[in-house]
Amino acid sequence: MKAIQVHEFGSPETVIKLEEIPNPQPNETQVKVKVRAAGLNPADVIAITGNFQITPVLPLIPGFEAAGEIIELGRKVSEFQVGDKVLVALPYSTPDGVRFGAMAEELVAPAANIVKMPDNLDFACAAKACVAYGTAYISLQHCGRLKSGETLLINGGTGSVGSAGVEVGKRLGAKVIATAGGAEKCQKVTSRGADYAIDYKSEDIAQRVLELTDGKGADVILDTVGGDAFDASLNCINFEGRILAVGAASGKIPTVNILDLLSRNCSVIGVDFAAYTLKDTATVKQALTELMTWYSEGAIKPEKPNAVNLEQAAKALGKIEKGSANGKFALVMD
């Protein structure tokens, strides 16, 4: 089969190789999937460059979100059938040395990392939504314990996780405030369902949040930005609020003074979707299953990504690395 492989860490456009390799074979608890689409993410670039928090096994086939059709079952797998359309949240590497990722014509994954997807959900949309919506759901529902009627602030409302967070937050019954840069992007987050948008280029985030919450602040903050936005979060978090740190798109890694947490009686929780695919697959499976139900109900509407093929993947990942990607990418098999 054709697969993208990485034999040494480095810049995607330099180290990615498109190669013919043997087709993977599932063990008794795994499922073999014909990949129809795979998401391309900043996390993939981090793994390819060797900077991921979980060091991948080399040679690496990048990618841990895919959608496709089951073509073979391990003998102990009973919850799926050949032909099922499925969404796969695949770990980069596992203790038993699994090295097959999403950017290949076929993959094998533990049945615990797979959920069925609706027939009317496009493969590319499903693949690109897996990590973003999975991160948003686990952050807000599982880690942040967001309740109906609470106020949710999302730093970075137009990014993949932030945009998903707007829809997840609304589905959970929260009042959603999202930050974005400029009038056009602010309009985009409100069109996705946010109750209020804050233009961080012209407005003070903390001050505006306090105005919108009668001085109480946000109960839960989903921070994908880091830097100044994270600092602003500490100035507008409610008593016993929860700040969920899922990324630092600004490039500035935030630091926390414990006295800031003590004075506010708040908590900061780091959330890494990839770690859940390794250490808590039950939570991942529950999250993705619920999200697929929400899609069927029309509560979430993943955006259609830009499609690239195997030959174009290195260039697309290079654009993500340089920050010049215009929109979101999915690898779609011919």
| Rounded Cα–Cα distance for residues 37 and 149 (Å) | 37
pLDDT averaged over 10-residue windows placed end to end, the chain, 334 residues: 96 97 94 97 89 81 95 97 97 62 95 94 94 97 98 96 97 98 96 97 97 98 94 96 91 88 94 90 96 95 94 95 81 92
Within this chain, do residues 118 and 146 fall inside the same structural domain, yes or no? Answer: no
**149 located within any domain:** yes
Within this chain, do residues 308 and 195 fall inside the same structural domain, yes or no? Answer: no
Residues in the chain: 334
- Give the pLDDT confidence score for residue 96 in this predicted structure: 57
- Give the pLDDT confidence score for residue 328 in this predicted structure: 85
Instruction: Residue 236: give the domain boundaries.
Output: 135-273
**295 located within any domain:** no
- Give the pLDDT confidence score for residue 51 in this predicted structure: 86
Within this chain, do residues 56 and 105 fall inside the same structural domain, yes or no? Answer: yes
- Give the pLDDT confidence score for residue 95 in this predicted structure: 60
Within this chain, do residues 104 and 145 fall inside the same structural domain, yes or no? Answer: no
**161 located within any domain:** yes
**279 located within any domain:** no
| Rounded Cα–Cα distance for residues 90 and 109 (Å) | 6
Within this chain, do residues 101 and 221 fall inside the same structural domain, yes or no? Answer: no
**290 located within any domain:** no
For residue 69, list its beta bridge partners: 34, 85
Domain count, the chain: 2
- DSSP assignment of 179-215, as one string? EESSHHHHHHHHHTT-SEEEETTTS-HHHHHHHHTTT
Within this chain, do residues 143 and 168 fall inside the same structural domain, yes or no? Answer: yes
**242 located within any domain:** yes
* Residue 180 belongs to domain with CATH number: 3.40.50.720
Is the CB of residue 330 less than 8 Å from the CB of residue 127? yes
For residue 269, list its beta bridge partners: 244
- Give the pLDDT confidence score for residue 251 in this predicted structure: 78
Within this chain, do residues 173 and 53 fall inside the same structural domain, yes or no? Answer: no
- Give the pLDDT confidence score for residue 334 in this predicted structure: 77
* Residue 87 belongs to domain with CATH number: 3.90.180.10
Rounded to two decimals, the pTM is 0.93
**160 located within any domain:** yes
Within this chain, do residues 166 and 103 fall inside the same structural domain, yes or no? Answer: no
Look at residues 222, 251, 273 and tell me which one is the last residue of a structural domain.
273
Look at residues 256, 273, 290 and tell me which one is the last residue of a structural domain.
273
Within this chain, do residues 189 and 233 fall inside the same structural domain, yes or no? Answer: yes
Cis peptide before 26 (omega within 30 of 0): no
- DSSP assignment of 13-41, as one string? HHHEEEEE-PPP---TTEEEEEEEEEEE-
- DSSP assignment of 143-179, as one string? IS---TT-EEEEESTTSHHHHHHHHHHHHTT-EEEEE
Within this chain, do residues 188 and 113 fall inside the same structural domain, yes or no? Answer: no
- Give the pLDDT confidence score for residue 100 in this predicted structure: 64
Look at residues 233, 253, 273 and tell me which one is the last residue of a structural domain.
273
For residue 62, list its beta bridge partners: none
What residues contact 50, with CB distance under 8 A and at least 6 apart? 9, 10
- Give the pLDDT confidence score for residue 306 in this predicted structure: 94
Within this chain, do residues 236 and 267 fall inside the same structural domain, yes or no? Answer: yes
For 49, 63, 265, 324, the CA distances from 158, given in Å and listed in that order, are 25, 22, 29, 15
**93 located within any domain:** yes
- Give the pLDDT confidence score for residue 248 in this predicted structure: 84
Within this chain, do residues 102 and 146 fall inside the same structural domain, yes or no? Answer: no
